[in-house]
Amino acid sequence: MAEEIKAYSEEEVKEKLAKELPGWYLEGRWIRRQYKTDGWQATLMLVNTIGYIAEAAYHHPDLEVTWAKVWVKLMTHSSNGITDKDFELAKQIESVVLWRPEQGSVFAGGTPNKWVRGG
């Protein structure tokens, strides 16, 4: 049987989000984040990237998907709240989907498109 992970209190979640995950917020029992994209192609690539990361972690967010936006919702159902699993997956999603090459890098700044950005 899997060990239950402690869920954080509402105050603890808000404090951790403020310190560790700007752009994420608590809504009900979920931590959430909206990402804006450059359009349908970037939206699909974003969804697939999040799906890959989530499957690797074996912790799956709820996603809401429209033409140029993706909302990510995380909660640990077995703990009925927000746990370290949610924070760690949110950090990994954030670091991968918002990564951009630095100016002057071998990638010369990356794509000229708006691509994916926090919303």
Give which of 74, 61, 84 is closest to 4, Cα–Cα: 84
Domains and CATH numbers, the chain: 10-73+82-118 (3.30.1360.20)
Burial class (CB in 10 A: 0-12, 13-18, 19+), 104: exposed
17 or 112, higher pLDDT: 17
Per-residue pLDDT of 74-87, as tens digits, reads 999 999 999 999 99
Q: How far apart are the first and last CA of the chain?
A: 39
Per-residue pLDDT of 10-64, as tens digits, reads 999 999 999 999 999 999 999 999 999 999 999 999 999 999 999 999 999 999 9
Give which of 46, 12, 36 is closest to 119, Cα–Cα: 36
CA 101 distance to own-chain centroid: 19
Task: Give pLDDT, residue 108.
Answer: 75
Task: Give pLDDT, residue 25.
Answer: 98
Task: Give pLDDT, residue 86.
Answer: 98
Rounded CA gap, 116 and 99, in Å?
9
Give 34's strand partners: 71
Give 70's strand partners: 35, 65
Rounded CA gap, 81 and 41, in Å?
33
pTM over 0.85: yes
